[in-house]
Structure 1
C-alpha cells in the first residue's frame, strides 16, 4: 500500500489531523512530523530538523506531500514574516532535488501559497505594520492591479494618489521585497515540476480577491506554466489549509486507479457564477479545480456519477455574501428570493432515495455553516444519510475537504464493495467532526462565547491564553449542548468530545477530537 509522508502547512489540526484521518479512511499509511519540530503561529518550525526528518522518512515512502511554505519558511504565518534571501530559500527547496536523486521512483506532490494581502488592518497573522496599514496596502494592491488591466475612474485615481502618500515607503518596500522572494520560490517550484522533481504542484491563492498582488502573481505564474507546457501538472486556484486533504485524495485515486465522476448540484440559480468572499473567480470554476486536483472529474448527469456534491451556494458574492455570524434577517435581500432551501433539501432526498452517495458543501455563508439551512436539514431527517459535510472558513477550505472525503468514501460505497465496519465508523467520526466544528463551533458557539463570555473574563477574540482552561471548558459545554440539541437523529449519546483546544489561543479556530461509540446491537 502507498505509504505517504506529509510535511504540513502548519501545526493546526486542519493541516495535520484532517489529512491523517482521510488517509486512514483510504487505508493509506501516513506519517507527519512530531509537533516538537513544528512552529506555533508566528514562531517558525525548525526547518533544519524538519529537513533531516524528511530525508529519513523519504527513504521508506512511496509519496511525499510537501508544503513548500513549511519546508522553506517554517509555516504559513512565517511565510508572511520572514527576511530570507532568495538564495537561502532556494537552498531549502533544493532538498526536493536531493530526495528525487536518491529515489527517482518517489512521487512528490507539493504545494506553495501565493502570499495573501488581507483587506483588514490586523497584525494577528501579519507583520506589525499591518495593524496600521493593512487595509491601505490591500487597496494599493487592488488599484495597482486594476490600472494595469483597465482605466481607473476619477474616485479611484484620487484614492491611488492618497495611498501613495499614506503608506510609508519603508513599509511598502518590505512588503514587496517579501512578496518578491516568495514569488521567486513559486517560479522555482514550477521549474522543479518542469524537471520532474515535483510530480504534481498546486499553487493556491490564499485569501485573495479579483484584483491585487495575488491576482498579478497568479497571472505571471500561469503564463510561466503555459510557456513550459506543464499546465496539466501545475494547478493555480483559491485555497490554502485544505490542500493537504486534496492531495491525499489524489494519491488515493492514483493508488486505487480510481477516477470518480462527481455531479454538482447548486441551491441557488446564481450559485455557479458568484465569486465567493476571499476568492477571485466564480464558484463553479473553483469547484472544477478542487475536483480535478483531487483526482476526480465532473459528471454530466447524476445518473452516471459515482456521487453527488450538493453545494449550498450563495446567491450573491464578495462583500455582499453573509458570514456565518450574520443573523438571517440581516442578510442581503437575495438570500430571501434567489435561494430555495426546500427544493434543495428535496433534491438531496431524491438523490439519496435513488442510492446515490451524497455529500454537502455548505458555502452559502463564509466562516461556518448556514445555521438556518442546517436546522432544516436536521428537521428533514437527512443528517444520517449524508456521506460527508463541510462548512469551515472559506469556500475553498470547505470544498477541498468535503470533496476529498467524498472521493474516498465513494470508492468504498461502490456496488459489490464489501462492508468494512471499522472504516465506515471512522468515516462517520470525520463527518461528525465537521458537523460539530463547522456548524456547532463556527456558526454558533464561537460568536456566542466571543460576545457573551470573553468581555466578562478580560479576554478577546484574538487572545484567550490567560483564560485558556475556562474558555475551552465553556466551548466544550456549549458544543455538548449543540450535539444534544441539533444532532438528535445521529444518536447524540454516542457522540463524545475527547478533546477541545484552541490551537493558536484565539477564537478563530478550534481543535476537536470527536469519538463515536460503537453501536451495540
Structure 2
C-alpha cells in the first residue's frame, strides 16, 4: 500500500512522526516530497515543484494525504503571513481538480487549517507586528465576538475601548483571515463536487470567542447547508492531522473500523476544556476517533484498543508547573495510581492499551511516567503521546495504535522511547532547565542561540540521556540518544536521532 503524503511543514512532528507511526507495518510506504521542495520556517515551499511531485507520484499510490496549506501557500507559517493573490491560489486549486481527473481511483484526504490567532505577543510564527500587538489583536476580537454573541460586562467594555492597535495592522490581519477563510469554504466546496473524499479543517490555538470562532461558525454553516457532515471534520488540532489521515487510509484500505474504549484518570476529565482548545475533551475525542475510521464503544470487551486518557483533575496547567507549582486538584480530583493500576489490569488480561497523556499542555505528566516504569508498563503500550496540545497527543496516539495493533514490535518500542524522551523528558523537564539555567548564563534566549546552537543541542542530548537512564525501561533496551537538533532554531521542539 502506497500513500502520497504532503506534510503541513518540515518539522519532525509532520514528517518524522508519521514515518515512526507507520514503521511497524512493512506493507505501508509513505511517499514524501524531498526536503529541497519543502519550506524553511517562514520561507515558503517550492509550490510549483511540489505540485509536479504530487501529479507525478500519485500514479503509483492508492491514497493521497495532502496539506492544502502547503500546496496553496507554501506551508503552515507562510499561510499566516502570505501576500498571495486569489488568482494564484485559484490556479493551484485547479491542479487539485487535475489530480482527481488524472487519477480517478486515488482516494484523496486533505486538510487545511483555519488561520490561528494566538493570545500572546510573538512574531515567531505570525506577522512581524504580532510581536507587539498579538495579545491585543486576540483580545479585541475575543471581546467583540463575545459582545455580539452573549454580551460583555462594563469591565470588559472598558478593556475593549482601551485597546490600541494601528489600523493598518488590524486591516492586514483581518484581510488575511478573510482571504484564508474564503479558501476554507472554496475547498469545502470541492468535497461537495467530489474532488476531495475527506477534508479536515483543524483549528490551531482555538478559543471560545474571537477570529477562529468567527471563521469556524462560517465553515460549519456551509457544511450544514451542503449536508457534508460525513465528509468534513472541524475540530482543534493541526500537527497531528497528517498522521490521523494516514491512519484513516490504512483502516479504509483494510475495511476496518477501529473500536476504541476510553477511560479517564479523573472524574471530570472528559468534561474539561483543555488549554488552547475550545471544547470539552470528550467532544474532541468523538471527532478524532471518527476521522481515523474508528468508533467509540461502551463495552471494553468489544474494543480493539483501550484508550487510557490521562487528564488533569480540574484545572489544566503547563507541564513546567508540575515541578514547583502543581495545582492541588491534580491530586484531590484525580487518583493517578488507581489509573495506572487499571492500565496494569487491562494489560494483564491481554488487552491492548494506548495512552493519551493530556494532564498538562506542552509536555507529559512526569509522575505518570514514573508510575508506568515502576509497574513495568512502559513497553506494554500500543501507543503513547503527551506533547503540545490535547488534540496533538490524541491524534498521535490513535494513529500509532492503528498501525501497532497486531503487536508491539521493535519499531513500536522505538517510537515509544522517542515519545518518552521528547514529550516527557525534554518538554516537561529538560527544556525548563536549559531555558532557566543554561541560556541566560551564555547571553542566549528561547529563540536566539547566536552561534551556540550546537552547544545547546549537546546540552539537551546529555541531560535527556541522563534522565532517561533512570528508567528501568531504558535499562532493559539500552537506547542511546545519538543527537538532538532544533529545526526551527528555538526551544519549543526538537528532533531526535535515537539508536
- Name the TM-score class by shorter chain: over 0.9
Q: Secondary structure of 1:512's partner?
A: strand
Q: Secondary structure of 1:264's partner?
A: strand
1:125 aligns with 2:110: no
Distance change in 2, residues 1:493/1:105 (3 Å): closer
Aligned residue for 2:428?
A: 443
Q: Secondary structure of 2:460's partner?
A: helix
Aligned-pair CA distance for 1:329: 4.9
Aligned residue for 2:280?
A: 282
Aligned residue for 1:485?
A: 470
Aligned-pair CA distance for 1:23: 2.7
Query: Contact 1:238–1:279 (CA<8 Å) still a contact in 2?
Result: yes
Tell me whether 450-459 or 387-396 shows the greater mean CA deviation.
450-459
Distance change in 2, residues 1:328/1:484 (3 Å): closer
Aligned residue for 1:213?
A: 211
Aligned residue for 2:56?
A: 56
Aligned residue for 2:445?
A: 460
Q: Secondary structure of 1:269's partner?
A: coil
How far apart, CA to CA, are the structure 2 residues paired with 1:233 and 1:513? 37
Aligned residue for 1:416?
A: none
Query: Contact 1:483–1:492 (CA<8 Å) still a contact in 2?
Result: no
1:17 aligns with 2:16: yes
Q: Secondary structure of 2:360's partner?
A: coil
Aligned residue for 2:230?
A: 232
How far apart, CA to CA, are the structure 1 residues paired with 2:60 and 2:48? 20
How far apart, CA to CA, are the structure 1 residues paired with 2:368 and 2:76? 33
Aligned residue for 2:412?
A: 427
Aligned residue for 1:203?
A: 201
How far apart, CA to CA, are the structure 1 residues paired with 2:477 and 2:377? 19
Aligned-pair CA distance for 1:94: 2.1
1:354 aligns with 2:339: no
How far apart, CA to CA, are the structure 2 residues paired with 1:206 and 1:162? 28
Deviations 1:125-149 (A, max 9, x none): 1111001110001111111221221
Aligned residue for 1:332?
A: 327
Aligned-pair CA distance for 1:328: 4.7
Aligned residue for 2:483?
A: 499
Aligned residues: 498
Q: Secondary structure of 1:300's partner?
A: coil
Deviations 1:268-297 (A, max 9, x none): 111100100000000011111111111111
Q: TM-score, normalised by structure 2?
A: 0.97
How far apart, CA to CA, are the structure 2 residues paired with 1:483 and 1:373? 14
How far apart, CA to CA, are the structure 2 residues paired with 1:174 and 1:278? 24
How far apart, CA to CA, are the structure 1 residues paired with 2:185 and 2:246? 24
Aligned-pair CA distance for 1:78: 0.7
Cα RMSD after superposing both structures: 1.3
Aligned residue for 2:38?
A: 38
How far apart, CA to CA, are the structure 2 residues paired with 1:220 and 1:333? 40
How far apart, CA to CA, are the structure 2 residues paired with 1:180 and 1:190? 15
Query: Contact 1:7–1:70 (CA<8 Å) still a contact in 2?
Result: yes
Residues 500-519 of structure 1: pairs in structure 2 closer than 5 A = 500-515=484-499
How far apart, CA to CA, are the structure 2 residues paired with 1:381 and 1:430? 17
Query: Contact 2:22–2:400 (CA<8 Å) still a contact in 1?
Result: no
Aligned residue for 1:393?
A: 388
1:170 aligns with 2:168: yes
Structure 1 runs not aligned, ≥5 long: 414-422, 516-521
Aligned-pair CA distance for 1:335: 1.6
Deviations 1:478-519 (A, max 9, x none): 111122112x1343553122331111111100001323xxxx
Query: Contact 2:379–2:416 (CA<8 Å) still a contact in 1?
Result: no
Deviations 1:92-151 (A, max 9, x none): 122110010111111110000011100000111111100111000111111122122111
Q: Secondary structure of 1:180's partner?
A: helix
Q: Secondary structure of 1:83's partner?
A: coil
Aligned-pair CA distance for 1:86: 2.2
How far apart, CA to CA, are the structure 1 residues paired with 2:274 and 2:89? 33
